[in-house]
Homo-oligomer: A and B are copies of this chain.
Amino acid sequence: MPRESGTKRAILDAALDLAAANGISGTTMDDVAVRAGVAKGSLYYNFSSKDKLFEQLLLEGVGTLTECLRNARSGLTGWQAIESMVRALLELLSENRALAKLMAAEILRTDRTWQHSLHLLRQEALAEFVEPIRQTGVPSGLPDGGSDHGSDQLTLIAGSVFGATLMGALDWLVFDPERSVEDVAAAVLYALSGRLKS
């Protein structure tokens, strides 16, 4: 690995650790330089501002998420794809707790310079859920939606599936980390199975 790339990685990792503990607002470029063990000149050579640094961190995180979901549904359709994606997402969250924390904290903010690019990537991640949901049949009896903002009904349903998985993961990772991923996946999939309705 080239030296510059190693420095970039060290900076990104340090920023993630600090922001997971103190929030992005509570993290300064000085803190990041100290934690990464790099001079401030080197820090600013790699990232011209704190905004650029955290933008790259968050965009990388959503990219990893999308790739994980895409791999999980490869060769599968419909409910089987959804099952596989729920499991893969739980595993990803359990392996990247600091990033999951940071992204949960960012999810409702509207005052960030990276808002737009993060939104676009987020839609890409949700689209991975949209495809198998579409394969289970076009929702009938639902309002048509289809707004320009990508919040049509299929995206809302995808968001709900994602949210069901995410919140299951939070309970698990924060309060009961010894539990197996299969246990947690079973509970999340139960919530989506319709057995609550029948």
Task: Write the A156-198 contact mask toward B (1 if CB under 8 angstroms, else 0).
Answer: 1101111111111011111110010011101110111111111
Chain B residues with CB under 8 Å of A114's CB are: none
Query: Which single residue of chain B is at the shortest CB-CB distance from A150?
Result: B175
Is A52 interfacial (CB 8 A cutoff)? no
Known contacts A159-B168, A175-B119, A187-B153: does B23 contact A195 (CB below 8 Å)? no
Is A143 interfacial (CB 8 A cutoff)? yes
Q: How far is the CB of A164 from the nearest CB of chain B, in Å?
A: 4
State the oligomeric state as a number of copies: 2
Q: How large is the interface on A (under 10, 10 to 19, 20 to 34, 35 or more residues)?
A: 35 or more
Known contacts A23-B26, A186-B143, A192-B197: does B168 contact A163 (CB below 8 Å)? yes
Known: A160-B190, A160-B192. 19 other contacts (CB 8 A): A21-B111, A23-B25, A26-B26, A101-B108, A110-B174, A119-B175, A137-B195, A142-B186, A147-B176, A156-B172, A156-B188, A157-B196, A160-B167, A163-B167, A192-B192, A192-B197, A194-B195, A194-B197, A194-B198
> 14 pairs across A/B with beta carbons < 8 Å?
A23-B26, A26-B26, A82-B196, A104-B107, A142-B187, A142-B190, A149-B176, A156-B188, A159-B167, A160-B167, A161-B164, A162-B167, A192-B194, A192-B196
